[in-house]
Amino acid sequence: MDLRRDDMTAEIAAVAARFVVDEGLEYAAAKRRAVRQLGLPARTALPDNATLEAAVREDIAVFCADHQPAELRALRELALVWMDRLQTFRPHLGGAVWHGTATRHSDVYVQLFCDDPKAVEWTLIDHRVEYHPGEVSGGRGEPVQALSLRHRSEALGEWVLVHLMVYGHDDLRGALKHDAQGRKPRGDAAALRRLLADQGEARHEDAT
């Protein structure tokens, strides 16, 4: 085992985790920035996403345990608003807001599955929602069409970016497969409501 390499990977993950938690950077961008900050060669081996996620959770536990749960709840409640509005398109929540590692700096990623991607745009237009079409990175780093908008979170006192990622109708079956860690990589509105209920119960227990 190359202990020096393992130590370097852990250091990259720790630095990248700070960028994720403090600035809301996506994993790939955070890793690249960590390498630059540490003055390492561009081709330095990077930690995998599981390693970085573990570092993010540790960072949150050490530095953000007093406020991150409330921020996470606010983002989940905001996501649920859009999932209810767009229920026709079988919305599922993914990313840090789903997995529980989001902070106020995180974006919300709602994945939609429909036969006609343009139908999502028409729905937003009908409701006079301002959005910007573009692309974001999917779970495997692949580019995914997205409609991005801003939503004011009163709980956070700031604007939050919401990305509506548009997939084909038949992509949902594969999207529900468990990830390498045996977790569901995304959840529908019912699953999100259960997370919010569980989080509420945990908060109540902590307060008693």
Domains of the chain with CATH codes: 3-63 (no CATH), 68-207 (3.30.460.10)
pLDDT in tens, 31-74: 999 999 999 998 999 999 999 999 999 999 999 999 999 999 99
Q: What's the pLDDT at 189?
A: 97
For residues 95-114, give the mean pLDDT. Answer: 96
**Rounded distance between C-alpha atoms, residue 6 and residue 17, angstroms:** 16
Which of the pair, 173 or 128, is modelled with greater confidence? Answer: 128
pLDDT of residue 179 exceeding 90: no
Q: Return the number of other C-beta atoms located less than 10 Å from residue 177's C-beta.
A: 8
Q: What's the pLDDT at 202?
A: 65
Which of the pair, 122 or 143, is modelled with greater confidence? Answer: 122
Q: What's the pLDDT at 183?
A: 79
What is the DSSP secondary structure assignment for residue 170, as one 8-state letter?
A: G
Q: Return the number of other C-beta atoms located less than 10 Å from residue 25's C-beta.
A: 20
Q: What's the pLDDT at 3?
A: 42
pTM of the model as a whole:
0.89
Q: Helices marked H in the chain — which ranges?
A: 3-23, 27-37, 49-63, 68-85, 95-99, 117-126, 172-175, 189-207
**Rounded distance between C-alpha atoms, residue 143 and residue 85, angstroms:** 25
Q: What contacts 173, CB < 8 A, 6 or more positions away? A: none
**Rounded distance between C-alpha atoms, residue 70 and residue 156, angstroms:** 9
pLDDT of residue 188 exceeding 70: yes
